[in-house]
């Protein structure tokens, strides 16, 4: 899943994972779970995340490759928020080629910057299972509680408006070039991410079949 911060990558990736019974792998969720558990990785990642910067490629790639090597990834998986730099995409590509595997689709969820800041201030996230809500657009059944696992929902530290603007800048500079990268590989599919989340999902399932 490609897209700006707040484009709805996580929301859609969860729905894809449920429909096709494959794991949803979000590097952001992995980092946040490590921060919550106070691990060394979490402490390292937090320094970058709180400033809206990317965690260094070397660390991120290692975490991701360990994760996709697990047994539950044998029948496929949906990557959310990885790769987000050209070097990450190149390493992923070469590691998958070694395994005789490849990326089937790079789904770009397209949402203009103007819509993003508003979405983020209303976001509530579950750090336990990774589910995402919006207080107006996609509210949980009980305020502050995750529908899926019953845990408490949080406002992410990096969703402060000034940090969101920094993340958008980082996105345009370092991640947007991946759109051309995957276009050249003929796997890019762009969907309109400004419509209702069910309608975004419809566009995606039309592509995935
Ligand atoms: P990460 O967790 O990946 O954050 P992000 O890319 O900034 O994206 P978000 O999770 O903020 O947005 P999303 O697209 O998932 O949107 P969502 O579905 O929640 O990364 C966080 C940080 O970790 C990075 O800044 C970096 O520091 C680090 N990191 C992670 N991966 C890395 C990597 N590969 N390399 C280096 N560093 C890395 O939706 C947003 C809101 O909108 C929600 O409230 C949702 O309910 C609502 N919404 C969703 N769809 C709709 C819709 N159609 N209409 C209305 N509202 C909607
Ligand atoms: Mg996300």
Q: Indicate if ligand 1 lies below 6 Å from the C-beta of 182.
A: no
Give the mutation target among 2, 4, 5 for probing the ligand 1 site: most ligand atoms within 8 A of CB: 5
Dmax of the chain from CA atoms? 46
Domains of the chain by range and CATH? 9-191 (3.40.50.300)
- The alpha carbon of 71 and the centre of ligand 2 are apart by a number of angstroms equal to 23
Q: How far apart are CA 7 and CA 141, in angstroms?
A: 22
- The alpha carbon of 95 and the centre of ligand 1 are apart by a number of angstroms equal to 25
In sequence order, what are the beta bridge partners of 123?
134
- Which DSSP category does 81 fall into? S
pLDDT on residue 134: 94
Ligand nearest to the CA of 12: 1
Which residues, chain by chain, have CB under 5 Å from ion ligand 2? 10
pTM: 0.95
- The alpha carbon of 207 and the centre of ligand 2 are apart by a number of angstroms equal to 21
- Which DSSP category does 71 fall into? G
Residues of the chain predicted below pLDDT 70: none
Alpha helices in the chain (DSSP H): 9-20, 27-36, 40-49, 57-68, 86-98, 113-121, 161-170, 177-184, 197-208
pLDDT on residue 118: 84
Active site positions, annotated: 9, 84, 123, 156, 167
């Amino acid at each position: 899943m490609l897209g700006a911060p707040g484009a709805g990558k996580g929301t859609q990736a969860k729905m894809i994972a449920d429909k096709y019974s494959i794991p949803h792998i979000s590097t952001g969720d992995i980092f946040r779970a490590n921060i919550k558990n106070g691990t060394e990785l979490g402490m390292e990642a937090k320094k970058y995340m709180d400033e809206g910067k990317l965690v260094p490629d070397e660390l991120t790639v290692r975490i991701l490759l360990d994760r996709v090597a697990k047994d539950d990834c044998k029948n496929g998986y949906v990557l959310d928020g990885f790769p987000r730099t050209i070097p990450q995409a190149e390493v992923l590509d070469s590691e998958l080629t070694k395994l005789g595997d490849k990326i089937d689709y790079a789904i770009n969820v397209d949402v203009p910057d103007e819509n993003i800041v508003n979405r983020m201030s209303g976001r509530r996230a579950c750090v336990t299972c990774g589910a995402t809500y919006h207080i107006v657009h996609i509210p949980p059944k009980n305020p502050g509680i995750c529908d899926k696992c019953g845990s408490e929902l949080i406002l992410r530290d990096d969703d402060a408006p000034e940090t969101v603007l920094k993340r958008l800048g980082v996105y345009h500079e370092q991640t947007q070039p991946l759109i051309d990268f995957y276009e050249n590989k003929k796997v890019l599919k762009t969907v309109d991410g400004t419509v209702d989340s069910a309608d975004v999902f419809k566009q995606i399932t039309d592509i995935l079949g």
